[in-house]
Structure 1
Amino acid sequence: MTETASAIVVRGLTKVYGSGETEVAALRGIDVTFRRGEFTAIMGPSGSGKSTLMHCAAGLDRPTTGRLLLDGTDLATLSDDALTELRRDRIGFVFQAFNLLPTLTALENITLPLDLAGRRADPRLLDRLVGTLKLDDRLGHRPGQLSGGQQQRVACARALITGPAVVFADEPTGALDSGSSAELLRFLRTSVDELGQTIVMVTHDTAAADYADRVLLLSDGVLAGDRSAVR
């Protein structure tokens, strides 16, 4: 696979916490490539390293050793400020906690990453996201006036509004009921199929993983499986 076809390239990735008797190896030499325009689910038991892998790949945590390229950029070469800028401009995040600002409207929460970067939203992309996520009549509402599912849809729109190279989703359906979960996962699937988005999702839910193109299985910090999902 060429680098141009790869959104993320991980080579020899290790992550060690603590030292001496308290040392814990969360990742033990991971080699994996995430392809552009693909929906990948990362699964594994608690403590398997799945969230650590995502946090390193997203530039939220620095690995102990190894090389990590995101959209062609070697994260190890970036200063903290440059890494912050990369996360803002080229990465989208969706977490179990919606992380919306309570004093801002839904629209203001969606466009916040662009506002912080001094950029204006692409009106066509904004309209498409709002329409697809069925938020047209909720844009003036603050988070406290929205259901959990609506708040997570706002968080999804915020993650996609910058046109990121990759969207990372960490247990995005964990706080949602089954109906809202299915709705959110269908949208993530649509963003891959129709917008060409690259998504990496950590989940413990096999039903959620069924929406992905590919499932990575982690166990004790190593890659234990890599298979195409059946959808």
Structure 2
Amino acid sequence: MCGTPRPATLIAVTTTTSPAASAVGLTKVYGSGDSRVAALDDVTVDFAAGRFTAIMGPSGSGKSTLMHCVAGLDEPTSGRVWLGDVELSALADDDLTALRRDRVGFVFQAFNLLPTLTAWENITLPLDLAGKRTDQRLADTIVRAVGLGDRLHHRPSQLSGGQQQRVACARAMVTGPDVVFADEPTGALDSRASADLLGLLRRGVDELGQTVVMVTHEPAAAAYADRVLFLADGRLVDALDAPTADRVLDRMKSLERVS
């Protein structure tokens, strides 16, 4: 898409490949009456399998809400969400919990590592909780990718912030999930650690065939993605393929001028 984004216009962002996750008519409303706020307003979107998608927008645009609803962490007010061919709203709570555990990986700004476990134990924790055996070949590949082979027996307090976030990223990937959702994963990292983490997410897509959906406010981070989706006032208003940091920054400036 070219030109000035049009936040008053609803657009459906779909892909030409089978989606790993998708939503139709997604709406999320908080409050009622004069205090009613539509965090998402009739959003339809596909996230293609084996691709890296970034979600951007001004503060309060609904980008984290969109990711949380698609990931099954939050329940939309209306609309439908699928992970692959499974509709999340059709699942009982226990089934939804199992699906998130088995088929989804999460990386958040807060590392969420257990302080009493080693790096290796934190990485394999989702498998232990599910009672599954570790795919040693995949685990070894991921450990090499995160570059922490000599730190696996260290606890989080013995690791730098960047190292802790790489452990969290490895934990999200080790189950071979359908989608890895990352919510501002570089927010607590310096520029070098951010580049390391983003490179790891990129390699997860390129080398392991994983699907990554990342919320970020940083144009340089979005440039690692295959595609960037832009939100404003709870609506999808633009998309950019093969992004560069400069092109993303230009789109964000346009959104901020009209928001």
What's the TM-score bracket when you normalise by the shorter of the two chains?
over 0.9
1:2 Cα deviation (Å)?
A: 8.8
Residue 21 of structure 1: how far off its partner (Å): 2.0
Which of 175, 190, 194 is 2:188 aligned to?
Answer: 175
Aligned equivalent of 1:230: 243
Whole-angstrom distance in 1 between the partners of 2:173 and 2:97: 17
Rounded to whole Å, the distance in 1 between the matches of 2:148 and 2:235 is 40
Number of paired residues?
A: 231
Task: Give the match for residue 142 of structure 1.
Answer: 155
Instruction: Please state if 1:121 is matched with 2:112.
Output: no
Q: Does 1:17 align with 2:30?
A: yes
The question of whether the paired residues in 1 share the 8 Å contact of 2:40 and 2:234 is answered with: yes
Q: Which residue in the other structure is 2:66 paired with?
A: 53
Gaps of 5+ in 2: 1-13, 245-259
Partners of 2:165 and 2:19 in 1: CA distance: 28
Tell me how far apart the structure 1 counterparts of residues 49 and 197 of structure 2 sit (CA, whole Å).
21
1: CA distance, partners of 2:169 / 2:32: 38
Distance 2:83 2:239 in 1: 20
Alignment RMSD, CA only? 1.3
Question: Comparing 216-225 with 15-24, which one deviates more in the overlay?
Answer: 15-24
Residues 15, 47 of structure 2: 8 Å contact kept:
no
User: After TM superposition, which residue ranges in structure 1, 4 or more long, deviate above 2 angstroms?
Assistant: 1-4
Match of 1:213 among 217, 226, 236: 226
Contact 1:3-1:72 within 8 A present in 2 as well: no
- Cα displacement string for residues 24-79 of structure 1 (whole angstroms, at most 9, x for unaligned residues): 11000001111000000000011100000000000000101111111210001011
Question: How big is the shift at 1:226?
Answer: 1.1
Q: 1:2 to 1:30 in 2, by over 3 A?
A: closer
Is the aligned partner of 1:188 residue 2:201? yes
Give the alignment's TM-score, normalised by structure 1. Answer: 0.97
Secondary structure in structure 1 of the residue aligned to 2:152: coil
For structure 1, the 5+ residue unaligned runs are: none
Tell me how far apart the structure 2 counterparts of residues 209 and 164 of structure 1 sit (CA, whole Å).
21
